[in-house]
Amino acid sequence: DAKTTQPTSMDCAEGRAANLPCNHSTISGNEYVYWYRQIHSQGPQYIIHGLKNNETNEMASLIITEDRKSSTLILPHATLRDTAVYYCIVRGNDYKLSFGAGTTVTVRA
Amino acid sequence: DVKVTQSSRYLVKRTGEKVFLECVQDMDHENMFWYRQDPGLGLRLIYFSYDVKMKEKGDIPEGYSVSREKKERFSLILESASTNQTSMYLCASSRSHGRLYGYTFGSGTRLTVV
């Protein structure tokens, strides 16, 4: 599976959009981009995934660049409950998900 | 609400004990996984199962075994618990064509071996 690079941490103001970048320059054609988050002392929670088209669900939007070498997770109106570690994962045919260190997002009032 | 349930939230065991961590899912998922999470090391895959009675080793299977006798239940067994197995243990499940679906995780079991 391709490796990903994310910033270690970022802050966001409550009510504003949070844009979380992820680089995956070695991604191959059949690999999906997944985003998960983990709130303190809980199990990771699935947010969204995509292959090459932009995706949106009730939690977030995923924007994937045309060359697929990077993506951005957008939380449109961040709340204090969105404070968590966010993981960007690239996954191919393998069963397993490989989690990196993720981005610690702190939403401030 | 669909869920993955882990039997214990917190567990304290003695060195050398045989420890069973239980995980049950109600989504009829084919795949089930056990991860452990440690500060600075992230989540590491211990074992996974893609069908009843089937299992495959993950990245760190040493000191662990698993059992999947029923589709909904996946057990992690520490044959002889050691202090370096003190960790947060996370169970997850997914559909068979898992690449197209996300994983659903349980809330975790924080195991302390003393």
In chain B, residues with a C-beta closer than 8 Å to the C-beta of A99 are 42-43
**Residue A96 pLDDT greater than 80, yes or no:** no
Amino acid at A50: G
Is residue B97 predicted with pLDDT exceeding 70?
no
- Give B5: exposed, middle or buried? Use CB within 10 Å, 0-12, 13-18, 19+: middle
Which whole number is the average pLDDT over B75-93?
A: 97
What is the C-alpha to C-alpha distance for residues B55 and A3, in angstroms, rounded to an integer?
26
Q: Give the whole-angstrom CA distance, residue B80 versus residue B36.
A: 17
Q: Is the pLDDT of residue A30 over 90?
A: no
**For residue A93, is pLDDT > 80?**
no
- Residue with the two structure tokens 């069973």: B20
- Is B78 an 8 Å CB contact of chain A? no
Backbone angles phi, psi at B84, to 5 degrees: -75, 0
Of A36, A43, A100, the CB nearest to B108: A43
pLDDT tens-digit series, residues B5-58 = 998 999 999 999 999 999 999 999 999 999 999 988 888 999 999 899 899 999
